[in-house]
Amino acid sequence: MRRLIPLTLTLGLVGCAHSYEPMIDTRGVDPARYQADLTECRTYAEQVSPAEEAAGGAAAGAVLGAALGAIAGAFSGSPGTGAGMGAALGGTSGVASGAASGVAGQKEVIRNCLRGRGYSVLR
């Protein structure tokens, strides 16, 4: 069950580039041209993978969590148990953090792409 939660979170974030709608100044903007540009920019954003970012975050979080858990566990006489618990918690936290970072990267690509096409991106 613990492994299912990070996986579900990651899969839920993977499609975020397709639903992201940046705020732009629409004065003087042709809506049809904007939609075509937005679609193309979203395609570029798919090159940033939240799943890959999540995997990297999980690995880094598990290593850090295991180290901190082993230290904490050593104080109670059970460094192995502490390391295991720390790795699980760190890995879960790393998945969430990495996936969020990947989604933020996708949004940044979309905003930069639209700016490059002359749109005034407000947010």
Tell me whether residue 34 is in a domain: yes
Tell me whether residue 98 is in a domain: yes
Supply the pTM of this predicted model: 0.56
Three-class SS state of 24: strand
Tell me whether residue 43 is in a domain: yes
pLDDT band at 22 (very low <50, low <70, confident <90, very high): very high
Domain count along the chain: 1
| DSSP string computed for 67-92 | HHHHHHHHHTT-HHHHHHHHHHHHHH
Tell me whether residue 103 is in a domain: yes
Tell me whether residue 107 is in a domain: yes
Tell me whether residue 15 is in a domain: no
Question: With 60 as the cut, is the pLDDT of residue 98 above it?
Answer: no
Q: 77 — alpha (psi -120 to 50), left (phi > 0) or beta?
A: left
pLDDT band at 92 (very low <50, low <70, confident <90, very high): low
Residue numbers of the domain that contains 45: 30-116
pLDDT band at 10 (very low <50, low <70, confident <90, very high): very low
Tell me whether residue 8 is in a domain: no
Question: With 80 as the cut, is the pLDDT of residue 29 above it?
Answer: yes
Tell me whether residue 69 is in a domain: yes
Mean pLDDT of the 33-47 span: 94
pLDDT of residue 64: 63
The C-alpha atoms of residue 105 and residue 113 are separated, in whole angstroms, by: 12
The C-alpha atoms of residue 8 and residue 14 are separated, in whole angstroms, by: 10
